[in-house]
Amino acid sequence: MRKKKTGDFDEREIKIEDSKKEEPDLEDPKNEEDKEITEVNSDEIDSEEKIKELEEKVHSLEDTLLRKIAEFENYKRRTENDQMNLLKYAAESFILKILPVYDDLQRSVNHLNEDNNDSVREGLKLVLNKFTKVFDDQGINKIEAKGEEFDVEYHEALMQQPNNEFPSNTVLEEIETGYVYKDKVIRHAKVVVSHNTESEEANEDSKKENEE
C-alpha cells in the first residue's frame, strides 16, 4: 500500500511538470515589438546626447587651445622685444654715468676766455671734440631745447618765467642738456619756459567779447 501511494505522488508530480512545460506563451508579440522600438529610440537619444556633449567639449578645447597659442605668441613677442631692447640699449647705464663728466668738460670749454693759456684751451676743445664724436658714433644726440616749443617728451620744465617777447611755453633757457640714445630719451633737457601774460590777457578779452 505504501509503495502505491509513493507511485501516485510521483505520477502527479510528473503531470504537474508536464503541464508547466506545455503552458503556452501568453505575451503579446506586438507589445514585445513596441518594447524593442522603445529601447532602440532610447539608445538613439542617448547617442545624440553623447555626440552633442562631445562636440561641446571639442569646441571648448579648441577655444582653450587658441587662447593658449595667442598667449604664447604674445609672451614670445614680449620676450623677443625685451631681448632686443636689452642689446640695443646695453650701454645706457654707462652713458648715464659718463654724461656728467661730458657736461663738466663742456662747461669748462665754454667758460674759457682769452686770458687762459691757449694750449690749455685748445687741448680741452680737442678732448671735447673727440668725446662728442664718440657720442655721435654711439647714437647719442643732444636734444635741441632753447627757442623750441616746450615738449614734454624731451623737456623737463623747472620753472616758468614771464616773457612777452615769445609765445607761452617757449624754452627760454637750458639749465641742463638732454640726450637721446638711439631712439630713446635717456635724459630730459631741464629748461625754463616762457609765460606770455599779454597773449593770455588778449585771449581772455576776446572770449569775453564773444560771450557778450
d(CA 133, CA 140): 9
Cell, residue 78 = 614680449
pTM of the model: 0.57
Across the beta sheet with 140-142, the strand order is: 140-142, 179-181, 184-187
Burial 19-29 (b: 16+ CB within 10 A, else e): eeeeeeeeeee
d(CA 62, CA 68): 10
Question: Rg (Cα) of the chain, in Å, rounded?
Answer: 49
Count the neighbouring beta carbons within 10 Å of the beta carbon of residue 81: 11
Tens place of pLDDT for every residue, the chain, 212 residues?
A: 444 444 444 545 545 455 444 444 545 555 555 555 565 566 666 777 888 888 888 888 888 888 888 888 888 888 888 787 777 888 888 899 999 999 988 888 887 765 566 777 788 888 889 989 999 998 999 999 999 999 999 999 999 999 888 888 999 999 999 999 998 999 999 999 998 887 665 555 555 555 65
User: What is each CA distance from 184 to 64, 95, 96, in whole angstroms?
Assistant: 38, 13, 13
